Structure 1
Amino acid sequence: MADPLRLGEADAGELLTLQRAAYVTEAQAHDDPGLPPLTESLGELVEVLRDRACFAWGTRENGRLIAAVRILVRGESAEVGRLVVAPDQQRRGLGRGLLLAAEARLPVTVKKLTLFTGEHSTGPLRLYPAVGYRETHRTPEQGYHLVHFEKTRAR
């Protein structure tokens, strides 16, 4: 996998398109078309990308954005979100590689990473424990549960 690229405001439109394409199957699996990644507006995404606490990374292939992740850093904690891979590029290890590369580029002050996914998200539910995340708890959502994970960084 190529080194991830830092994403910014100029990438917002393409990132939003990738995000929506990647989350359609999640919405179907959870019978929830109102998932936040599908309803987020371009303006909202631009605001997130402007936040200095947001570290957004992506992978491009032949100029096309094919994978992305956002990590919001809050002191010693960081929340991983919106790890997405283009539907036609899945099962190539892009999500895993990008997540690990993004984690490695976080400030050394970050000690703990958290994330969540839906209980019917089979790919992420396999991926996160495989890269060191452990399930901490589940919370009810509209007809399903969110599965929360945590990872402590060794430094």
Structure 2
Amino acid sequence: MSDDPDVHIDRITREHAGELLTIRRAAFVSEAQLYNDPHIPALTQTLEELAADIEREDVVTLGAWLGPRLVGSIRVGIEDDKATIGRLAVVPDLQTRGIGTQLLFAVLGYLPESTKEVWVFTGQNSKHNIALYNKAGFDHQFDEVSGDLTYAYLRKILEAGNIVDDN
């Protein structure tokens, strides 16, 4: 589960919206099955909504490329001194190769210097996701019920020298 040196991470632009939509849908099918809910937001977002989200100034969307193929993505909303990660997705055939971890750490380099904390949320039953976030230094803070789903919220406090992955 080490970092893949052939993976290149950079910002996603509107021209990648269709490919990104496909990746998210493929990656989030397992979450939908876990929760028996095909209507989770990552699966119901339209191409137009995704393209508009990519262009928002308060959002950073990064992609992971393996050669010319977009294989993963992460979305971060920025508000004042707080960032919120969501929609971390890796194509199913390349999961468990460290691409999600690379995206998780790469996003820290795109945050404003004023960012003091980073939040992430995932389904409470998504044990693999929670383990990934814990390993990256995120601590569970609380759970929140939204409709039929319960989300776990985790937080990482950023300090001087803690912005970059030391691993």
Coarse TM-score class (shorter-chain normalised):
over 0.9
Cα drift, residue 104 of structure 1 = 2.4
- Which runs of at least 4 in structure 1 moved beyond 2 Å after TM superposition? 141-144
1:72 matched to 2:102 = no
Given that 1:59 and 1:67 are in contact with CA atoms closer than 8 Å, whether structure 2 keeps it comes out as: yes
1:41-52 to structure 2, matched below 5 A, reads 41-52=46-57
Given that 2:74 and 2:89 are in contact with CA atoms closer than 8 Å, whether structure 1 keeps it comes out as: yes
Deviates further, 38-47 or 138-147 = 138-147
Cα drift, residue 80 of structure 1 = 0.5
Q: How far apart, in 2, do the equivalents of 1:148 and 1:82 lie?
A: 14
Q: Secondary structure of 1:100's partner?
A: helix
Cα drift, residue 5 of structure 1 = 1.2
Aligned residues: 155
Q: How far apart, in 2, do the equivalents of 1:15 and 1:67 lie?
A: 8
User: What 5-or-longer segments of structure 2 have no aligned partner?
Assistant: 161-167
Matching residue within 83, 98, 113 for 1:93: 98
Q: How far apart, in 2, do the equivalents of 1:51 and 1:43 lie?
A: 13
RMSD: 1.1
1:103 matched to 2:87 = no
Given that 1:71 and 1:80 are in contact with CA atoms closer than 8 Å, whether structure 2 keeps it comes out as: yes
Cα drift, residue 115 of structure 1 = 1.3
User: What 5-or-longer segments of structure 1 have no aligned partner?
Assistant: none
- TM-score, normalised by the number of residues in structure 1: 0.95
Q: Secondary structure of 1:108's partner?
A: coil
Cα drift, residue 125 of structure 1 = 1.1
Percent identity over the alignment is: 33
Letter in 2 for 1:130: K
Letter in 1 for 2:91: A
Q: How far apart, in 2, do the equivalents of 1:143 and 1:41 lie?
A: 22
- TM-score, normalised by the number of residues in structure 2: 0.89
Matching residue within 4, 7, 10 for 1:5: 10
- Could you say which residue in structure 2 is the equivalent of 1:140? 145
